[in-house]
DNA sequence: AAACTTCTGTATGATAATGAACAGATTTGA
DNA sequence: TCAAATCTGTTCATTATCATACAGAAGTTT
């Protein structure tokens, strides 16, 4: 991982939080590049050094989160369900503003679908194909069932201001997912 | 006022908060330039683009606040005591971390004296020389009396986490200062 | 429809910040 | 006491960001 220039990291971090802040006030379509630049305290032109336009910016912002989740996946899939889920809930907690905003915004309705896709993809390798308990069940159904349940519970948890600690959520959701897959 | 480059403003702001944060943990002498650079997330060399060394940095940081206070002075000295003090207490509240740190730190014991000097200087023009009520009183004594009282009450207010709103403090302290000068 | 404002995307040259390197001073600790 | 580590202040070439300007698109007002 070639380390990025400090300035770039800061610029992108500013843009990240700026977009999130603005999306809490307006729908994404109403937000102008100028708005973002002002909120991030950056020159407007600087944004174009990194992104095509605001859609590209949002896209890459989402992409970054998905990549980080994927990295955690590789690391966590060796553990059992409950302990493997802890870092994910911690990640959601840490970035709850991003996720709640994205899940709430009308401007990015595709985000939920994208998150669901990502989750189902990760679940594929976790289905129990040995014990025979799932012999009668279609993979499609199991993935969709567990996937929507997982995204749904994450959504609920974040929107309700994370009423339980990540560890507890991981244990309980882990147990339920273990039964489903 | 030639407006400063955005980058400079950000760098200085980062340094400002970095120094304050570090001074809450260590005495100023224990803080290295490297510490400051790390905390501010800046290249160490960048600091030397703006300041001679860490003492110069602290000096200019203090200087900036004194200048801002002076600017408020010109603007506020036309009002009566109570309403004129409001912006000052608001300023102290806004920058309470700076002031409490500076007033508490053993590394900058001169700060209190410097603040007192500034305050007394400002009071000079406010002494009632007309009504005759101060005819018997020496200017030295009055300034020292009112100055230490003012600095003392500000110190108390900040250290006790600003238990009263700026407006109330301004009224009460304004009334007392009016009697003293 | 015409005039006006705002937003966009791009280009410019100027400048601030970067990481890396260096020698010398100070601190630390075996 | 010597060696190792850390901190300092400076230099360098490179790069990111800056302010500003422009022309065309899009959206508003009249």
Q: Which of B4, B8, B10, B40 to probe the A interface (max A CBs under 10 A)?
A: B10
Q: What is the mean pLDDT of residues B156-162?
A: 91
Between CA B35 and CA B42 the distance in angstroms is 10
Of the spans A93-102, B39-48, B102-111, which averages the highest pLDDT? B39-48
Closest nucleotide (CA of B47 to C1')? Answer: C17
Q: What is the longest distance spanned by two Cα atoms in chain B?
A: 60
Q: What is the mean pLDDT of residues A61-87?
A: 83
Instruction: Give B-chain residues touching A41 at CB under 8 angstroms.
Output: 6, 10
Q: Closest partner residue to A6 among B6, B10, B41, by Cβ?
A: B41
Q: Both tokens of residue A28?
A: 């994404």
Whether B109 shows a pLDDT value over 70: the answer reads: no
Residue A85's CB is within 10 A of a number of other CB atoms, namely 23
Q: Which fold has domain B54-180?
A: Tetracycline Repressor; domain 2 (1.10.357)
Between these two residues, B165 and B30, which has the higher pLDDT value?
Answer: B165
Instruction: Give B-chain residues touching A42 at CB under 8 angstroms.
Output: 6
Residue B162's CB is within 10 A of a number of other CB atoms, namely 15
List bases in chain C with any atom under 7 Å of a protein Cβ: 6-12, 15-21
> So what's the pLDDT on residue B18?
94
Q: Give pLDDT tens digits for A27-47.
A: 888 899 999 999 999 999 999
Give the residue carrying structure tokens 């944004």.
Answer: A47
Q: Which fold has domain A55-180?
A: Tetracycline Repressor; domain 2 (1.10.357)
A28 touches strand C (CB under 7 A): no
Nearest in space to A85 (alpha carbons), one of A63, A97, A69 = A69
- Write down the H helix ranges in B77-109: 81-94, 96-104
B41 touches strand D (CB under 7 A): no
Q: Which residues of A touch B (CB under 8 A)?
A: 6, 10, 41-43
Angle among Cα B121, B127, B133 to the nearest 5 degrees reads 155
Whether A82 shows a pLDDT value over 90: the answer reads: no
> So what's the pLDDT on residue A108?
57
Among the ranges given (A6-15, A78-87, B164-173), the one the predictor scored with the smallest mean pLDDT? A78-87
CB A27 within 8 A of CB A105: yes
Q: Which fold has domain A1-50?
A: Arc Repressor Mutant, subunit A (1.10.10)
Q: What is the mean pLDDT of residues B121-148?
A: 89
> So what's the pLDDT on residue B1?
61
Whether B107 shows a pLDDT value over 60: the answer reads: no
Assign B127 to helix, strand or coil: coil
Up-side HSE of residue B119: CA atoms within 13 Å toward CB? 22
Instruction: Give B-chain residues touching A43 at CB under 8 angstroms.
Output: 6
What phi-psi label fits residue A2: left (phi over 0), alpha (psi between -120 and 50 degrees) or beta? beta
Whether A11 shows a pLDDT value over 70: the answer reads: yes
Whether B67 shows a pLDDT value over 90: the answer reads: no
> So what's the pLDDT on residue B108?
58
Between CA B165 and CA B89 the distance in angstroms is 8
Q: What is the mean pLDDT of residues A93-118?
A: 80
Among the ranges given (B42-51, B53-62, B74-83, B84-93), the one the predictor scored with the smallest mean pLDDT? B74-83
> So what's the pLDDT on residue A23?
84
C-alpha distances (whole Å) from A71 to each of A68, A169, A170, B47, B129 are 5, 21, 18, 36, 75
> So what's the pLDDT on residue B110?
78
Of the spans A68-72, A100-104, B87-91, which averages the highest pLDDT? B87-91
Among the ranges given (A110-114, B11-15, B86-90, B134-138), the one the predictor scored with the smallest mean pLDDT? A110-114
Tell me which DSSP letter residue A137 carries: S
Tell me which DSSP letter residue B9 carries: H
Assign A51 to helix, strand or coil: coil
CB B17 within 8 A of CB A54: no
The confidence band for A2, taking pLDDT boundaries of 50, 70 and 90, is low
Closest nucleotide (CA of B43 to C1')? Answer: C18
- Write down the H helix ranges in chain A: 6-23, 33-40, 44-50, 54-76, 81-94, 96-104, 110-124, 139-159, 166-180
Angle among Cα B43, B46, B52 to the nearest 5 degrees reads 130
Q: What is the mean pLDDT of residues A98-123?
A: 81
> So what's the pLDDT on residue A1?
61
Between these two residues, A49 and A113, which has the higher pLDDT value?
Answer: A49
Tell me which DSSP letter residue A30 carries: G
Provide, rounded to the nearest whole percent, the portion of chain B with pLDDT above 90.
49
Terminal alpha carbon distance of chain B: 34
C-alpha distances (whole Å) from B116 to each of A124, B152, B163 are 70, 9, 23
Q: Share the mean pLDDT of chain B.
A: 88
Domain ranges (residues) in chain B: 1-50, 54-180
Spacing of A30 CA from D21 C1' in Å? 26
> So what's the pLDDT on residue B83?
84
């Amino acid at each position: 991982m070639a380390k990025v220039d400090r300035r770039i990291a800061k610029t992108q971090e500013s843009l990240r939080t700026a977009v999130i802040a603005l999306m809490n006030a307006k729908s994404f379509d109403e937000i102008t590049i100028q708005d973002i630049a002002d909120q991030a305290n950056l020159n407007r032109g600087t944004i174009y050094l990194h992104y095509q336009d605001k859609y590209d910016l949002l896209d890459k912002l989402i992409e970054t989160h998905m990549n980080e989740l994927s990295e955690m996946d590789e690391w966590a899939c060796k553990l059992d369900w409950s302990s493997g889920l802890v870092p994910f809930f911690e990640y959601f907690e840490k970035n709850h503003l991003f996720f709640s905003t994205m899940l709430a915004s009308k401007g990015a309705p595709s985000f939920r679908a994208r998150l669901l896709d990502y989750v189902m993809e990760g679940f594929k390798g976790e289905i129990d194909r040995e014990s025979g308990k799932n012999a009668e069940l279609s993979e499609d159904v199991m993935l969709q069932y567990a996937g929507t349940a997982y995204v749904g519970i994450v959504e609920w948890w974040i929107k309700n201001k994370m009423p339980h600690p990540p560890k507890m959520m991981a244990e309980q959701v882990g147990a339920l997912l273990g039964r489903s897959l």
